[in-house]
């Protein structure tokens, strides 16, 4: 046992010196966990982000903390050099430039929040540039392919009637797959010809649907949903078990109908949304109108479809102009 304050202080210093790294690391981890939890709460409450988006942010931030620790840094002490080290590790792990850019975007939002809340003085990402990305044109279906796809479901089977209504709704309104499967009964006004879609950030937008989509939904409601849906099920599109459709179930149905339609492309739900936007622009729709229908906050996101339309115009000129070749 130590005798006197001097000996006691010496013993305390020795203990703290031996465990300083462990104590510091524990404290840093506690700070990071609390800050991440607070940021995710902010995204959920203030920005109304959905569970899947929050899960993606949480995964990015957890991976970030691990990478920082392996680089000998932390959320609080990270500087530009540490951030570059993280990006190098991501590249070495095989993450594409596009995935790195998305990861970096998650981190920017996190550090912006910490600065706004005065938990940090500045962001270590201020001098870090995002990886250069090549502009990838969206894959889409031609109008004849769309027509074949819409005709693929069997109108004599309940499942075919439901799938037809879903395909017509998705293409007619340019909805995301999550927006289609999350549609509630009250979100569809067949008399006025509108659906209310809730996009990213739970932002609501009204999108018109054409007569073919209205007829397909009316047939589904009259012939199928009343027999399948559970009494307390509020979602528009349901499975034979009476519950709402999932994204995975719709994806499988789309693949099946794509094969029936003889479409060789690797068809995805988002291709219908891309096709909706491109076909509107090809028909002469204003870019701002398409932006509103898609629910894009930034028109720059919508402008990528103008490249697709330019390709279409060039093809039409080459095919039909006397000197197009």
Q: Which tens digit of pLDDT belongs to each residue from 165-218?
A: 999 999 999 999 999 999 999 999 999 999 999 887 778 899 999 999 999 999
Annotation marks residue 31 as catalytic? no
d(CA 50, CA 44): 7
CA-nearest of 167, 211, 171 to 193 is 211
Considering 162, 176, 214, 279, which one is annotated as catalytic?
176
Annotation marks residue 257 as catalytic? no
d(CA 276, CA 146): 10
pLDDT at 5: 40
pLDDT band at 22 (very low <50, low <70, confident <90, very high): very low
Considering 162, 214, 257, 273, which one is annotated as catalytic?
273
The residue-averaged pLDDT of 221-227 equals 97
Give 118-130 pLDDT, tens digit per residue: 888 899 988 887 6
What pTM was estimated for this model as a whole? Answer: 0.63
Q: Could you identify the residue written with the tokens 């007829």?
A: 215
pLDDT at 323: 64
Q: Flag whether pLDDT at 12 surpasses 80.
A: no
CA-nearest of 231, 250, 227 to 169 is 250
**DSSP β-bridge partners for residue 238:** 244
Considering 31, 200, 205, 255, which one is annotated as catalytic?
200
pLDDT band at 248 (very low <50, low <70, confident <90, very high): very high
Assign domain 143-320 to a CATH class.
mainly alpha
Considering 84, 205, 235, 296, which one is annotated as catalytic?
296
Q: What angle do CA 206, 209, 215 make, to 5 degrees?
A: 135
Q: Three-state secondary structure along the chain? A: CCCHHHHHHHHHHHHHHHHHHHHHHHHHHHHHHHHHHHHHHHHHHCCCCCHHHHHHHHHHHHHHHHHHHHCCCCCCCCCHHHHHHHHHHHHHCCCCHHHHHHHHHHHHHHHHHHHHCCCCCCCCCCCCCCCCCCCCCCCCCCHHHHHHHHHCCCCCCHHHHHHHHHHHHHHHHCCCHHHHHCCEHHHEECCCCEEEEECHHHCEEEEECCHHHHHHHHHHHHHHHHHHCCCCCCECCECCCCCECCHHHHHHHHHHHHHHCCCCCCCCHHHHHHHHHHHHHHCCCCHHHHHHHHCCCCHHHHCHHHHHHHHHHHHHHHHHCCCCC
Annotation marks residue 270 as catalytic? yes
Annotation marks residue 3 as catalytic? no
Annotation marks residue 200 as catalytic? yes
CA-nearest of 37, 23, 25, 204 to 113 is 37
- Domain boundary assignment for the chain: 4-116, 143-320
């Amino acid at each position: 046992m130590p005798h006197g304050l001097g000996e006691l202080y010496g013993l305390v210093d020795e203990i703290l010196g031996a465990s300083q790294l462990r104590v510091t690391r524990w404290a840093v981890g506690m700070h990071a966990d609390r800050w991440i939890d607070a940021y995710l709460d902010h995204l959920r409450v203030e920005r109304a982000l959905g569970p899947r988006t929050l899960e993606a942010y949480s995964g990015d931030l957890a991976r970030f903390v691990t990478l920082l620790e392996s680089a000998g840094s932390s959320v609080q002490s990270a500087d530009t050099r540490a951030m570059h080290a993280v990006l190098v590790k991501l590249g070495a792990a095989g993450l594409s430039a596009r995935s790195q850019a998305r990861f970096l975007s998650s981190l920017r939002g996190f550090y912006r929040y910490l600065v706004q809340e005065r938990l940090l003085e500045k962001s270590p990402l201020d001098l870090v540039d995002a990886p250069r990305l090549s502009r990838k044109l969206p894959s889409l279906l031609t109008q004849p392919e769309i027509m074949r796809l819409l005709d693929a479901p069997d109108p004599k089977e309940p499942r075919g009637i439901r799938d037809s209504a879903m395909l017509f709704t998705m293409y007619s309104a340019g909805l995301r797959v999550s927006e289609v499967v999350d549609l509630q009964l009250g979100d569809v006004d067949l008399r006025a010809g509108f659906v209310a879609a809730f996009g990213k950030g739970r932002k609501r937008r009204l999108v018109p649907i054409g007569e073919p989509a209205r007829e397909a939904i009316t047939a589904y409601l009259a012939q199928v949903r009343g027999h399948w849906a559970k009494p307390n099920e509020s979602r528009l599109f349901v499975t034979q078990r009476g519950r709402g459709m999932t994204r995975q179930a719709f994806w499988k149905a789309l693949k099946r109908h794509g094969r029936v339609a003889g479409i060789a492309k690797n068809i995805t739900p988002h291709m219908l949304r891309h096709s909706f936007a491109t076909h509107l622009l090809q028909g002469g729709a204003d870019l701002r109108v398409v932006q509103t229908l898609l629910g894009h906050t930034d028109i720059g996101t919508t402008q990528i479809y103008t490249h697709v339309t330019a390709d279409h115009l060039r093809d039409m000129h080459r095919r039909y102009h006397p000197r197009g070749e």
